[in-house]
Amino acid sequence: MVAENLISTAVLPLRTSDSGKLALASMENFNVRHLPIVNNSQLLGVISEEDILVHNVNEPIGSYNLSLIRSFVKRADHIYEVMRLLAEHQLTIIPVVNDEGDYIGMVSLEDVLNYFAKTAAFSESGSIVVLEFQQRGYSLAEIARLVEAEGATILSTFVTSHPEDSIVEVTLKINRQDIHNIINAFNRFGYEIKASFNEEEYLESLQGRLDALMSYLNV
């Protein structure tokens, strides 16, 4: 999945002639706290809700003294790059440009969340296992072999590393409700199991986090 496939057609960019009041209304309507400023096809940058509120909202945003966030992705950038920049700059949207650098649309944080919600990692039933071990001992092939030996399949993996102590944490989504045999296999081979959840427990936890995130986005 690349940025071009995630472009939202519902959210419109701002122009320098738009007032701060109009910009705030657009942000409220689209449940975002950032919007790109575009003149013709030229991307000028991303303005935040905070930028507007320190100025006269009745004035055009082009008259503001701004240090715009100059962050964007290219149309062929992978969704992981989209996620990285959204997180790095704490954005609710990220502009997308074509090969010539012209603005062609934007991707919202909600678009990214909706995409992942439809993937097998979330839509298919199963269980979650979180493993933790030293980085030098990490082998996804070995982990997959143990899971598949029990007749199960890994639907997705998420790896978190901690360079300061060389610890790797691997979160597995497995297409099984009953994972006792898999847990036992990991134990036999010396893997430290940090946590495990069946689908019901996992969905309750995930729904709580999603509700909290949506509440935060609507603030």
The CATH number covering residue 171 comes to 3.30.70.260
Q: Please, how many CA atoms are within 13 Å of residue 85, restricted to the half-sphere of its CB?
A: 20
> For residue range 44-65, what is the model confidence (pLDDT) as tens digits?
999 999 999 999 999 999 999 8
- Which of 78, 93, 114 is the last residue before a domain boundary? 114
- Which of 114, 145, 175 is the last residue before a domain boundary? 114
- Which of 51, 86, 114 is the last residue before a domain boundary? 114
Are 174 and 207 contained in the same domain? yes
Are 33 and 82 contained in the same domain? yes
Task: Name the domain count of the chain.
Answer: 2
Give the whole-number percent of the chain exceeding pLDDT 90.
54
Is the residue at 218 inside a domain?
A: no
Are 203 and 168 contained in the same domain? yes
pLDDT at 168 over 90: no
Are 182 and 201 contained in the same domain? yes
Taking the C-alpha atoms of residue 77 and residue 92, their distance in angstroms, rounded to an integer, is 18
Q: Which of 125, 134, 198 is nearest to 164 (CA)?
A: 134
Taking the C-alpha atoms of residue 62 and residue 219, their distance in angstroms, rounded to an integer, is 26
Overall residue count recorded for the chain in this entry: 219
What pTM does this model have?
A: 0.68
Span 98-118, mean pLDDT?
Answer: 89
Are 109 and 193 contained in the same domain? no
Are 85 and 181 contained in the same domain? no
SS3 breakdown of the chain: % helix, strand, coil, rounded to 5? 40, 30, 30
The number of beta carbons lying within 10 Å of the beta carbon of residue 214 is 12
Give the whole-number percent of the chain exceeding pLDDT 70.
89
Are 34 and 71 in contact by the 8 Å Cβ rule? The answer is no
Span 98-125, mean pLDDT?
Answer: 84
Encoded tokens for 210? 């999603």
Taking the C-alpha atoms of residue 94 and residue 34, their distance in angstroms, rounded to an integer, is 9
Domain encompassing residue 174: 120-212
Are 105 and 126 contained in the same domain? no
